[in-house]
Each structure stands twice: as C-alpha cells, then as structure tokens.
Amino acid sequence: ATELNTESYDKIGVTIKEFEAKFSSPAEKWYYIGKDNITIKGGSGGVGDNITIKIDDAVFKRDADVDSFEYDWPEEYKTLGMHTIKMWVLPLSNPERDPADDSVTIILLRGGLTAEVSADYVARGDEFSIEGTAPGRNQVDVLTMAPKGGGGKGLDADDVSTETRGDLNAPGITHFTCSVDNDKYKKEKVKISKDVDTGTYQIIVLNYGLDKVWGTKTGTNNLLEAMTSDYRIDLATKTPEEILAILVDKTVGQPGSDDLMGITKIKVENGFVQLDDIEDVPLGSELKVTGVTNRETGTPVVITAEGPTKLKPQIVTVAADDKKEYNKFEASFGTVAARIGKYTVTAVDNDEHRDTTTVNLILAEEPVINKSLPSPVPTIEEEPTNESINETAANVTLLSEAMKQPAIKLTFAGFVLILALVAVWFIVSTREKPSALIPQHKVERRVERKKLHTLPRGAQNRRGKR
C-alpha cells in the first residue's frame, strides 16, 4: 500500500494455498440397510480451522478435523431412500449461505432384491443380460437410464413413448418387465443398438410388493404411471439422478411401502479390438498373436500376418478373460515356410473394428546345419550329370548362407577348408559306380589294365620279354 502525500508505503507477503475438500467415503451409489457398512470419510488437506458436515440439511458434525475425519453412518439416518451428505470448510465457507465444498448422494435400499449384469461393459451393437433374485415375488420391472438422462438416446429410444401412446417422451429411458421363477429372474439378450449414447447406464430393478401397487399413494401397478402420478413430469428434461429420486419417492421411499428396489450399472462403449505387442520371432518358431476387446464372447475375429510371405489367415472367437478387465482373443501361425523380414499383423472383427501391429521374423540364433559329408566310394569316372552339379551348388549355397548367421563365426581359413572338402566330395561323388550288368571279373580286368598303363616304360619292356 502506498500513501501518496508522504510517498511512504508498506507491503506484506501472501501465500495462496489451494485446497480440495472431498468425501472419500461413502461412494456415490446404493447400499442395503443392515447389510452394508457405511462410513463417512474425508478432509480438506489440512486447510481451514474445522469442517461442518450435514446430512439431509441437518448438522451432523460442526468440528470435524481438516486433515481427515471418519464417522459411522448414524442410526437415525438408516432409512429407505436418498440421503445427501455435504461439507463446508470454515472459515473459508459459511454453511448458512455458501454452497457446499463437496457433497455425496447415496441411496439406502431394503434388502431382498438383487440385480446383476453379465459384464461391466458392453460394446455398441452387442448384447448383455440382467439377472438377480426376488424371493416371494412373481415379477420385476426393469428401467434403464442413459448417461444423459431422459433426454439421451437410450437402449430403445421409442420404448417409453410407444408404451404410453405418446403421453411420455423419454428417449433415454427403457422399460420392460421380467417374470420371476423360483425366486430368480433373468432377462437374456438385452440388445444395444449401434447409435446409443456411450457412457454408464443405470439399471433399476423394482418389485411393487405384496399389495401389488407402487408405494402407498399411487394406487397403480404401472410403473410409468406411478412416476407421473399427481403431477405432470417431463422426464426428457431430467438427469439420471433426478429420475432416480422420482423413482424412490414414488416407490420404496413412501412410508409403509413394501416395494423392493435393486440397482446396478453397465458401461456402453464403442467397440474395439487391440493387439498386444509381439517380440521378434525366430524363423520356424510359432508366431503367437494375442489381444483384448470389449466385444462379447463368441464374436469372430479374423487375424492376418503379411510380409515377405503371406501366412494363412486365422479366424478365432472372443473368449472371457478372468484375469483382465476385457475379453481376449488369440491365434497362432506356423513360420516354417515363411521368410525372414517384417510382417504386419491385423485383427478385424465382424463390425470392422480393427488394429494392426508389426513383428519381425528373424534367423534362429542357433540354426541346425548338417556338417557331415558322405564317405568316398571307389567308382569309375564318368561325366558329371546336371543333377549332381545342381546338388553340389545347393550345398555350397547352404554353407554360404549358414556363414551369414551370427551364431556361426568362421575364419577365412575355415571357409577355404570347407570349400576344399566340398570340392573333394564333388569329385568323388561324381565317379561312376560299378554297373550290376558287368561281370565282376571284367571289372577287375579293366582295373588291372588301368594299373598296367601306369607302370614305368622299363617295367613294361621287361614284362614283354618274358
């Protein structure tokens, strides 16, 4: 601050410290009374003097610790329906006039009805199932809500409008019933169209109780009529939280109601296939391809591997994976007839979701080479044939190729020695073997004559004089 007349001034340093007031528990979901333990946990990271906590706008704690606090859910609030918990960090916020620094809304339900889905996620265009228990009941109503609420694009955008003959328009809501058999129910093949909203869908399963009417004031067993009883509601403008609050208020939340409610959720995603990375594969070894996908089990996936040669395509099906979040697929390729080089591996499902990766086929580190040479057999000389020439050339080529492999290191002298051995083998192998058609004594005479020609001239003269 500066005083203009005397030009005197003063200053002070101010540290602005960011804080985040947050409930770490309970999570914003539903709990069963008498079954689930509920705790209230949170803090403001040490900022402020203390924290005020309210449940349903009534003060629960005025001096909660700013570092961290933890309390059991109070008995007086273990009642059916929705409950909202809020906190204010003092003196930064005033509980009487400021919005809460954080809040959580939970639902307490009566036990007796359960709801589960077949998977935590589902891809557009696929199907899932809903099942659970409802002891002593004969039917359940199922309501699904899109992430955007009544105005979104749900599993069946025309369902509610068609059922109410146009009285209600809520494309984000889907309603159907399911019979209960031996205390269990199951809705198979809930279809997800390819143009629905992605995100988390809430699935509410309800039963109207032994009196066969919803709540104690609606006087009807029609769920959609019960939701709009006493006043006109435009469900298309409501969020999922607001629609859930209406359901609770018209059913399980009414005093004396014996209605039951169970809640679950499922995440709708765009379909995908994703290949895992593949390390270099030695030529002749198995090329194994693996990947993950959110497509339902049984979905076909075509896997190809193309490079210097084109390997035979594989068609596999998606299988469940208990160790990972998503499902899996895998295929194997033989590489004995392939050539070394880079290959592009592609996976494509039946909806054209695809992914690609690359893999290198390399020479084996320890290739098997036949180093043995055939033993020479005395034969009569003959002209080399084309077959023998080709065979020799092939062996020379194999040896030269083997020398290129990193695992075999040959010196120049070793190379010369190998070529010399090949040359000896070539000369010996091309000599004519004795024919089975020529009598043995004639062969011996030919050999003897040949030896005679090799005697010195003097020895031949002496032999002639005799």
Q: pLDDT (tens digit, 9 = 90+) per residue, 212-231?
A: 999 999 999 999 999 887 76
- For 192-326, strand residue ranges (E) read 199-207, 260-269, 273-275, 281-282, 287-293, 300-306, 314-317
In the numeric block, which tokens belong to residue 392? 């020799």
Cβ atoms 240, 149 nearer than 8 A: yes
Q: In whole angstroms, what is the distance from residue 143 CA to residue 202 CA?
A: 8
Q: Which amino acid, one-letter code, is at 203?
A: I
pLDDT value of position 233: 73
Is a pLDDT exceeding 60 seen at residue 100?
yes
Domains, the chain, ordered by start: 22-109 (2.60.40.10), 116-269 (2.60.40.1930), 273-362 (2.60.40.1930)
- Residue 260's pLDDT band (boundaries 50, 70, 90)? very high
Averaged over 121-148, what is the pLDDT?
94
Q: Which residue has the tokens 């077959």?
A: 387
Q: Nearest to residue 272, comparing CAs of 353, 351, 357? A: 353
**Strand, helix or coil at 219?**
coil
Bridge-based pairing state of the strands 281-282 and 354-362: parallel
Is a pLDDT exceeding 50 seen at residue 386?
no
- Residue 365's pLDDT band (boundaries 50, 70, 90)? confident
The H or E element containing residue 289 is: strand 287-293
pLDDT value of position 103: 95
Averaged over 448-462, what is the pLDDT?
46
Listing from the earlier edge strand, what are the strands of the sheet with 314-317? 281-282, 354-362, 341-349, 300-306, 314-317
- Residue 5's pLDDT band (boundaries 50, 70, 90)? low
Q: Nearest to residue 131, comparing CAs of 149, 148, 113? A: 113
In the numeric block, which tokens belong to residue 208? 């109207």
Q: What is the mean pLDDT of the chain?
A: 82
Q: In whole angstroms, what is the distance from residue 66 CA to residue 70 CA?
A: 11
Note the maximum CA span of the chain: 155
The winner for highest mean pLDDT among 146-160, 212-226, 303-317 is 303-317
DSSP, residue by residue, 334-349: --TT--SEEEEEEEEE
Q: Which amino acid, one-letter code, is at 1?
A: A
pTM of the model: 0.68
Cβ atoms 350, 329 nearer than 8 A: no
DSSP, residue by residue, 50-103: EEEEEETTEEEEEEE-SS-EEEEPPGGG--SEEEEEEEEEETTS-TTTSPPSEE
- Residue 396's pLDDT band (boundaries 50, 70, 90)? very low
Is a pLDDT exceeding 80 seen at residue 461?
no
Q: Nearest to residue 68, comparing CAs of 103, 92, 44, 38? A: 44
Q: Looking at residue 197, what DSSP letter applies? A: P
Q: In whole angstroms, what is the distance from residue 290 CA to residue 331 CA?
A: 7
Averaged over 240-264, what is the pLDDT?
90
- Residue 399's pLDDT band (boundaries 50, 70, 90)? very low
pLDDT value of position 438: 46
Q: In whole angstroms, what is the distance from residue 3 CA to residue 173 CA?
A: 66
More confident of the two residues 312 and 410 = 312
Is a pLDDT exceeding 50 seen at residue 196?
yes
pLDDT value of position 436: 44
- Residue 29's pLDDT band (boundaries 50, 70, 90)? confident
Is a pLDDT exceeding 80 seen at residue 237?
yes
Averaged over 316-345, what is the pLDDT?
94
Is a pLDDT exceeding 90 seen at residue 123?
yes
